[in-house]
Amino acid sequence: MDPRLLEELIDWLAIPSISTGDGDHAEIERAAAWVVERVRRAGGEAELVRIGAGNPLAVGELRCANPAAPTVLIYGHYDVQGPGPLQLWSSPPFEPEIRDGRLYARGAADDKGNFLPLLHVACAMAADGTLPVHVRVLVEGEEERAGDAVAAWIRSDQRGADAAIVFDSGMPDAATPAITVGLRGMVMLTVDVRTAERNLHSGLYGGSVLNALHVLNGLLAEVLPGPDGRVREELRAGISPPSAVELQSWRLLVPGEQAIALAGGRPVHPGAGEEYYERNGADASLDVNQIVGGEARTVVPAHAQATLSLRLAPGQDPERMRAVLAELLRAALPDGAELELSATCAAAALFDPEQPALRLAAAALARACGREPVFLRSGGSIPIVAEMAARGYPVIVSGFGLPADNLHAPDESYELHSLEWGEAAARELYVGLAALGGGA
Ligand SMILES: [Zn+2]
């Protein structure tokens, strides 16, 4: 590993660029300016871009000698979560320290350490004239608080890109590099039921008036998954089944039953563990996240609220699924009850592992790590990737995070080995993606 990569990372990690409240805004500006300065030092152009009242984006460009070369957009975020209680940290969160092959600091894995190899290698190759693609740098400062400045930038950037690389993801284990080709979308829904002006006495009115918790239960019964854990067919419309390459790749992973057991969960149905990767990556799922209502005394509750998350498989349209879910709930509402729904939606994303950019990326990772990468689907959502997919960019979602990195928790850390693989992978990705040819 280039020792300067580690030095740079330690320098960047020492800036407490916290975006999740009680951070100092000056540190946000410093961490963003750090990126701009790094690109300029390598001979590129870079600036801070401000959209609305959000934290600045660091946007830059490292051009290669061949004007017809493809443009690769690299994305990361310089903001970090707050450290939480300092006494839970073995060393101060913004004084990076190496212990047992790991670098400890807030942001070490999420996302400074994961992302920096992409920037460092692009700068190093640009500075010595060996960069084979144009690299457009996009580093945001609101990922941890779900700001929308970066989405607005991606929607409005007229130049487009031939491919994008996002290192904000991980590996199933330290020996297996991975490319995440699918991300689920989501409809997050708040369901409010009102059945009376105020809570009533259960002795005087019970059995005669509507009970908001009972009504809410009735509505939920309409949309909850069956005993096999599957949601009803109406909520599964549009699902794209996994490809043969993906299915083959999933067989190399920790068996699903074991993955569930390691997390401390229990299968919803016999056999569900075996189907874990297919259920998690390529099916819809609905969970009630919270129910609030009533009091622990003799009342008939007048109001009840539930929060639901409907995760959508790639292929499903979030707006359409929001409407279907709302219609199912409305149809089950008894006369006299009032229903209010409020939703936020996020799109799913799916990249065909057989398309040129993904094939080149898989070969690049195999060269860098000495082992073929697996193709994963994540059950979670990365909204920025869906924005890039909507622009038609093939996105290589990868990175070298591991379950032991303690993201968002005390003693966050990143393996030096992951940093090394990140550096090698960045170099091979730029070399490999040059074969795409320009266009954007
Ligand atoms: Zn995070």
Q: Ligand 1 centroid to 200 CA: how many Å?
A: 44
Quick check: 143 and 77 in contact, CB under 8 A? yes
- Structure-derived torsion over alpha carbons of residues 392, 373, 113, 256, reported in degrees to the nearest 10: 100
- According to the model, what pLDDT value does residue 61 have? 97
Q: Ligand 1 centroid to 7 CA: how many Å?
A: 22
Q: Ligand 1 centroid to 107 CA: how many Å?
A: 8
- According to the model, what pLDDT value does residue 263 have? 82
* Regions of the chain short of the pLDDT cut 50: none
- According to the model, what pLDDT value does residue 349 have? 93
Q: Ligand 1 centroid to 376 CA: how many Å?
A: 19
Q: What tens digit of pLDDT does each residue of 22-41 get?
A: 889 999 999 999 999 999 99
Quick check: 16 and 27 in contact, CB under 8 A? yes
Q: Ligand 1 centroid to 90 CA: how many Å?
A: 20
Q: Ligand 1 centroid to 324 CA: how many Å?
A: 31
Size of the chain, expressed as the number of residues it contains? 440
Q: Ligand 1 centroid to 79 CA: how many Å?
A: 9
Amino acid identity of residue 313, one-letter, is: A
Q: Ligand 1 centroid to 268 CA: how many Å?
A: 28
Q: Ligand 1 centroid to 144 CA: how many Å?
A: 5
CA angle 297, 300, 303 (to 5 degrees): 105
- According to the model, what pLDDT value does residue 439 have? 66
Q: Ligand 1 centroid to 310 CA: how many Å?
A: 21
Q: Ligand 1 centroid to 440 CA: how many Å?
A: 30
Q: Rounded to whole angstroms, how far apart are CA atoms 303 and 192?
A: 7
- According to the model, what pLDDT value does residue 437 have? 79
Eight-class DSSP state of 382: -
Q: Ligand 1 centroid to 361 CA: how many Å?
A: 24
Q: Ligand 1 centroid to 399 CA: how many Å?
A: 13
Q: Which residues hold their Cβ within 5 A of ligand 1, which is an ion?
A: 110
Quick check: 232 and 284 in contact, CB under 8 A? no
- According to the model, what pLDDT value does residue 379 have? 86
